[in-house]
Chains A and B, each alone.
Chain A
Amino acid sequence: MDLYREVILDHYKNPRNFGHLEKPDSVTEEGNVTCGDRIVMEIQVNKKNEINNIRFSGEGCAISQASASMITETVLGKNTEDVLKLSSKDVLELIGTQLTPSRMKCAMLPLEVLHKTILALKR
């Protein structure tokens, strides 16, 4: 039952920062059409380029949703440049267990969407 450790299930059943922002600075939605994982990221950034508010929504498997919840907790207050540097290594650390290649895709989706959300800010 390693993959479904209490922590992952907790984040899946009680996702942190789930919902919407009233006045987001950037919103991005993406999903994996073939499996039904979908993540929306909404962020607000202050003058120092720190993420001072973040929400996610969507649906999908426990890994993708738990990963999204954990990532939003981690990046709150961080500088966008630092968040852009986060990689699969960091996601794996958050999930806390080994993932097969097919589940890595689920776990990485939220971070990919968040990166796109940040990059969309700059335009």
Chain B
Amino acid sequence: MLNEQKIRKDFEILNQPINGKPLVYLDSTATSLKPAAVLAKLNDYYTKYTANIFRGIYKISEEATAEYENSRKKVAAFIGCTNPEEIVFTRNASESLNLIAYSWGLSALSAGDHVVVSIMEHHSNFVPWQQLGKDRGWVMDIWRTNAEGELDLANLDKLITRKTKLLTITAVSNVLGTINPIEKIVQKVKSLNSHCIVVVDAAQAVPHMSVDVSQWGADFVVFSSHKMLGPTGTGVLWGRYDLLDQMRPYNYGGEMIAEVYEDRTVFKAPPHKFEAGTPHIAGVIGLGAAVDYLSGLGMDAVRAHEKDIVEYTLEKLHEINGITVYGPKNTDNKGGVVAFTLRYAHAHDVAQILDEDNVCIRSGNHCAMPLHVYMGVAATARASFYVYTSKADIDLFIQGLHKVQSVFT
């Protein structure tokens, strides 16, 4: 089990009271807090070896390059990828998804081709396909959830046809917490149509549980640094090398070229083919440190901790009058995310009252408006957990909900 008291000492922000009260941060799904080790590594780049990568013969440039590429190797190993050249660094998961849509999608898909997207997708894994699809005549089919917020694999029998070229799916819902059985989904999709590509949005999976892309069997997987204790401005795209090799570049420019002539250019091979210009060097290095920190904790321990916290939370939420909790109730397939509504108070008001005691939760549609419209609710409140979340945090959260009840009823 995680020693969360020891872990919390690594997070300076948790040890700084606001208006005399501690911070109770329950919005890790939106972004995670950063441990001192990550910040130190980020700062080291800016204080000890600030240089551009791949450019210089001099020592600090070689050091920057080595650290940057070392992060790539760390990230690859972290997700069970044996070839670091399959790891592309982007700005975030959203950019990774757009890269796939533009670089792979525009060439691979034609008018009349079908794309399957689940109803629980984040806007970043919904809007690109919708918009490019409208432009190009793709047909978007939506895989809907049941009342528990789970997907039924039997629906794939109808959804995956000869004309389905892509299925894109989140590994863990950022609203419902639903953990989708990716390995089973990939197997079923490929058995129905071996040419159908599978994209997995792992933004809420990689930070919170053990992920092995070779086991999953998908073709592309994306995630973001800032949700996994790393800096903002850095994201990852993992793609099968043979796909990346065929894809045209996403951005053109420096670093992604091997040779440039007046009339033509020779591009680098993946992954550098997709990394034009100077990247967020410090961000990538910081991500490497975040991977080290998480590896030190052990992802199975991280998942066990969050499962424990979610179980405790769901138990306590039962005491709250007029509450509706969304998503699976079984914590075996529920990540550390709990979305809910209160009959007598709007999500904004809930979040505002909780804020009076520094309890940070999110309210709105959490970048999943299609899901909310489908559920028939305009806005939900959402609490989400991570390695530093304690039961004491949850107790303060529950206390806050009692306060909301007394204010509004």
- A residues apposed to B, CB below 8 Å: 1, 3-4, 9, 13, 33-37, 60-63, 102-103, 106
Interface presence of B345 (CB below 8 A): yes
Q: CB-nearest residue of chain B relative to A9?
A: B407
Quick one: CB contact mask for B219-240 with A, threshold 8 Å, 1 for yes? Answer: 0000000000000000000000
A35 touches B407 (CB 8 A): no
A34 touches B364 (CB 8 A): yes
B353 touches A4 (CB 8 A): yes
26 residue pairs of the A-B complex, CB under 8 angstroms, read A1-B356, A3-B352, A4-B349, A4-B352, A9-B407, A13-B408, A33-B369, A34-B379, A35-B347, A35-B363, A35-B364, A35-B378, A35-B379, A36-B346, A36-B347, A36-B377, A36-B378, A36-B379, A61-B348, A61-B349, A62-B345, A62-B346, A62-B349, A63-B348, A103-B352, A106-B348
Question: Can you name 19 extra interface pairs (CB under 8 A) apart from A1-B407, A35-B347, A36-B377?
Answer: A3-B352, A4-B353, A13-B408, A33-B369, A34-B364, A34-B365, A34-B378, A35-B363, A35-B364, A35-B378, A35-B379, A36-B346, A36-B378, A61-B349, A62-B349, A63-B348, A63-B349, A102-B348, A103-B348
Quick one: CB contact mask for B334-377 with A, threshold 8 Å, 1 for yes? Answer: 00000000000111110011001000000111000100000001
Q: CB-nearest residue of chain B relative to A31?
A: B378
Q: How many inter-chain residue pairs (CB < 8 Å) link A and B? A: 46
Question: A3, A62, A103: which has the most chain B beta carbons within 10 Å?
Answer: A62
Bound-state CA distance A102–B355 (Å) is 13
- B residues apposed to A, CB below 8 Å: 345-349, 352-353, 356, 363-365, 369, 377-379, 407-408
Say how far B31's CB is from chain A's closest CB, in angstroms. 17
Residues of A within 8 A of B369 (CB): 33-34
Residues of A within 8 A of B346 (CB): 35-37, 60-62
Residues of B within 8 A of A102 (CB): 348
Say how far A14's CB is from chain B's closest CB, in angstroms. 13
Residues of B within 8 A of A61 (CB): 346-349
Contact among A4, A36, A37 for B407, CB-based, below 8 A = A4
Question: B346, B352, B407, B408: which has the most chain A beta carbons within 10 Å?
Answer: B346
Bound-state CA distance A35–B341 (Å) is 12
Residues of A within 8 A of B364 (CB): 34-35
Residues of B within 8 A of A3 (CB): 352
Residues of B within 8 A of A33 (CB): 369, 378
Q: CB-nearest residue of chain B relative to A100?
A: B352
Q: CB-nearest residue of chain B relative to A13?
A: B408
Bound-state CA distance A33–B349 (Å) is 17
* 6 closest cross-chain pairs (CB), A and B: A36-B378, A61-B346, A61-B348, A36-B379, A62-B349, A35-B379
Bound-state CA distance A102–B365 (Å) is 14
Say how far A69's CB is from chain B's closest CB, in angstroms. 15
Question: A3, A35, A103: which has the most chain B beta carbons within 10 Å?
Answer: A35
